[in-house]
Amino acid sequence: MEFQDIIFEQRDAIAIITLNRPQSLNALTPLMLRELRDVFFSIANDASCKVVIVKGAGRAFSAGVDLKAMNESLVGGQFTAYDIIQYGNELANIIRTMPQPVIGQIHGHCYTGATELMMYFDMTIASEDLKIGDTHAKWGIMPTWGMTQRLARLVGINKAKEMSFTCKAITGTEAARIGLVNKAVPLTELENAVLEMANDILLNSAQTIAALKHLYNEGYHNTLEEGLKIETAYKVNITDRADFLKQFEKNK
């Protein structure tokens, strides 16, 4: 697959997707969102890929939705405003339901639509000096990719309101403290930290991880009682268990 606004590469069982508009701080265009949707759909159906990493080229992960592209869409450009909304939500659904865990490698700046995109991921490691925030209110734009629902669930409703109402960015260190990202590390250590997490995941049963991802995501949006029923009723055939048990016996 060839792309214009992203780069895709696969290193053994790890897929790496790079947002590749560094001259505009990787601002999200309708084309980039469509390419992300398409590449994630392809990865989801590729059993050779076990983990996905998403990062940004240049000085930032992403400054958010490209407002110029959005304005062009509103006045009859190549894409419509509906495309921006639709591609983003289709991408969220693919990431939520795909078997592979997705790790965000976030640095520089991550604002608004890019923050919503980051919250699609299963795990995130940020640089300590990252600036991350929600600026929908600054531009008079309503969120359509889940900001008001996902952010509140991750950091608590009061903190989410503070971030959205003030439009002030927080650092990667603060984002880790409040649970918006898994952890923050110095920028020089970011790539290695993400690869280390990816390789730790690869040591384990991909089929079990896929099942766990499904149960976490399904249960999270229900009550505890409903989630427990979902877990108890869920049946899956783990066929790679035997190899791991053999390895366990060998290492005893």
pLDDT-based confidence at residue 241 (cuts at 50, 70, 90): confident
Can you name the CATH fold of 6-202? 2-enoyl-CoA Hydratase; Chain A, domain 1 (3.90.226)
Q: What percent of the chain has a predicted confidence (pLDDT) above 70? A: 90
Q: How confident is the model at residue 78, as a pLDDT?
A: 54
| pLDDT digit string, tens, across residues 60-76 | 999 999 877 666 655 55
3-state secondary structure the chain: CCCCCEEEEEECCEEEEEECCHHHCCCECHHHHHHHHHHHHHHHCCCCCCEEEEEECCCCCECCECHHHHHHHHCCCCCCHHHHHHHHHHHHHHHHHCCCCEEEEECCEEECHHHHHHCCCCEEEEECCCEEECCHHHHCCCCCCCHHHHHHHHHCHHHHHHHHHHCCCEEHHHHHHCCCCCEEECHHHHHHHHHHHHHHHHCCCHHHHHHHHHHHHHHHCCCHHHHHHHHHHCCCCCCCHHHHHHHHHHHC
Examine the pLDDT at 246 and tell me if it is beyond 70.
no
Average pLDDT, integer, range 15-20: 98
The mean pLDDT value of the chain amounts to 92
Examine the pLDDT at 104 and tell me if it is beyond 60.
yes
Task: Give the start-to-end residue ranges of the domains of the chain.
Answer: 6-202, 206-251
- Predicted TM-score of the model (pTM): 0.92
Average pLDDT, integer, range 45-67: 96
Average pLDDT, integer, range 43-62: 97
pLDDT-based confidence at residue 84 (cuts at 50, 70, 90): confident
Q: How confident is the model at residue 85, as a pLDDT?
A: 87
